[in-house]
Amino acid sequence: MLFTLYIFTFRNHCCLTFCNACAHGDVSYSVAEEMKRGGAIGNIAKDLGIGTVTLSSRKARIDSQRNDKRYCDINMNTGDLIVAERIDREGLCGKKATCVLKEQLVLENPLELHRINIHVQDINDNAPQFSGESISFEITESADKGSRAKFMLTEAHDADVGTNAVQRYDLQNNAHFAVNVELDSSGRNYPELVLKKELDREKVKELKLILTAVDGGSPPKSGTAVIHVTVLDANDNAPVFTSLLRSNTFTKMRQTYTVK
């Protein structure tokens, strides 16, 4: 379990300004998302210096600053702040780099509030996904290899953040294409297909290559798509006779015509 504690006490300043329901100190914890219900985030009674008897006599409870769900509760016997609802970082914060749940410990008689900031840490619980199962291209066999023959691929999405999001793309080993990752103007990485050896439609009309997006989790997760390449014809072959017989016939015809 990840656990960090910071306590900021501003009792004096707070009580000078409003006394009936003043905050007596903030506590901050760090917890990995998807922790099981009932798991202890930290011992809030100990961290705030409140005995468990006081918790009961002053009817301690956790209030959420979100209206929909109360993610934490307090174990009155141990003073532990515990997980009451599934904490899903992706559902709470999407692609935000930091994710903080704000709760309050409320004590009565007299009313006393302690703000609780729970920093939700990402875990690698999502695999990269492409929007479709296949990506199709039509590429002429006359396309030059190298920097001029690049084809933008759709990027894979991973709901996790940081290193748990997509880190690299791998392309199935093949003679004609490689995959590069480029940074676009908005700072996003996108993959592109690069021709490294010219195509020849007379030898290969179609290629199917597996593209894999891999995240940086431990262990890593991955997602795949199939790249279909249809090789288009270019006029790169002169007509040739396919048999000696036809060639000989043509020679005779020419000779006959010449005599006349």
Q: Which residue has the tokens 């840490």?
A: 121
Could you say whether residue 170 binds Ca ion (CB under 5 A)?
A: no
Residue among 79 and 223 whose Cβ is closer to Ca ion: 223
Half-sphere exposure of 91 (CA within 13 A, CB side): 10
Residue among 24 and 145 whose Cβ is closer to Ca ion: 145
Q: Cα separation of 252 and 258, whole Å? A: 10
Among 73, 88, 170, 192, binds Ca ion (CB under 5 A): 88
Residue among 56 and 142 whose Cβ is closer to Ca ion: 142
The two three-digit tokens of residue 192, written as one number: 């592109």
Residue among 156 and 193 whose Cβ is closer to Ca ion: 156
Could you say whether residue 90 binds Ca ion (CB under 5 A)?
A: yes
Could you say whether residue 168 binds Ca ion (CB under 5 A)?
A: no
Could you say whether residue 236 binds Ca ion (CB under 5 A)?
A: yes
Could you say whether residue 200 binds Ca ion (CB under 5 A)?
A: yes
Contact 114, 25 (CB under 8 A): yes
Pairing of strands 6-8, 61-64: unpaired
Could you say whether residue 222 binds Ca ion (CB under 5 A)?
A: no
Q: How near is the Cβ of 214 to Ca ion at its closest, in Å? A: 9
Beta bridge partners of 166: 215
Half-sphere exposure of 227 (CA within 13 A, CB side): 30
Helix (H, G, I), strand (E, B) or coil at 16: helix
Burial 120-152 (b: 16+ CB within 10 A, else e): bbbebbbbbbbeeeebebebebebeeeeebebe
Q: How near is the Cβ of 260 to Ca ion at its closest, in Å? A: 39
Binding track over 131-160 against Ca ion, x by CB under 5 A: ----------x----------------x-x
Q: How near is the Cβ of 64 to Ca ion at its closest, in Å? A: 19
Helix (H, G, I), strand (E, B) or coil at 20: coil
Interface with Ca ion (CB under 5 A): 88, 90, 122, 124-126, 141, 158, 160, 164, 200, 202, 215, 236
